[in-house]
Amino acid sequence: MTQKRVAELIAAYGAAPDKWPEAERIAALAVLRRDPALQAELRQMAALDAALDRWPSPAAQVDAVALAAHVSATPRPRVVARRPFFRFPIFAWPNAAGLAAAALAGFLVGWSGLDSDYSSAQLDSVDQQIVASLVEDATW
């Protein structure tokens, strides 16, 4: 326990040691006993505490029996078992699996380049036709 911590306790909880945190109280009092500066701080805070205690409580004047009777006459809303916000239909599983398989197959085809071979072969064929037609035009 340090002098600084005792000063913090006084500043936060006031001058009454019974309002200080229980775990720190005994050690704080031991430090306080041998520190005149902290004792002066304690006296100042005690004056504030005394002033605060002169404010009478503006506590509500409520009759406990009447309040309990009134409140407990209030009907409680019926508790309805909660349904999940979205329930995934069981028959949708095969559809979802098929969609995923198709997507995977499409990805694999694109990634492996199978479709590019087909395209280049097709392009070669078109090229040959164009060249042939040009040759034909030139000879004509």
Partner 1 sequence: MLDPSDDDLMRAAGAGDRAAFGTLVGRHLQRMAGLAGRITGNRGDAEEIVQEAFLRAWLKAPSWLGRENRAGGAAFSTWLGRVVVNLCLDRKRRAVPLPLEAAAEVVDPKPDAFAATAGSEVAARVAQAMATLPDRQRAAIALCHYEGLSNIEAAAMLDVTVGALESLLVRARKSLRAALVDIAPEGSRP
Question: Where do contacts with partner 1 occur on this chain (CB under 8 A)?
Answer: 8, 11-14, 19, 21-22, 43-49, 51-52, 54-62, 64-65, 67-74, 76-77, 79
| Torsion angle, alpha carbons of 117, 123, 129, 133, to 10 | -160
CB of 34 to partner 1, least distance (A): 21
**Environment class of residue 46 by beta-carbon count within 10 Å: exposed (0-12), middle (13-18) or buried (19+)?**
middle
Pairwise CA distance, residues 3 & 32, whole Å: 8
CB atoms within 10 A of CB 29: 13
- The smaller minimum CB distance to partner 1, of residues 58 and 84, is found at 58
- The smaller minimum CB distance to partner 1, of residues 70 and 134, is found at 70
CB of 87 to partner 1, least distance (A): 24
- The smaller minimum CB distance to partner 1, of residues 61 and 139, is found at 61
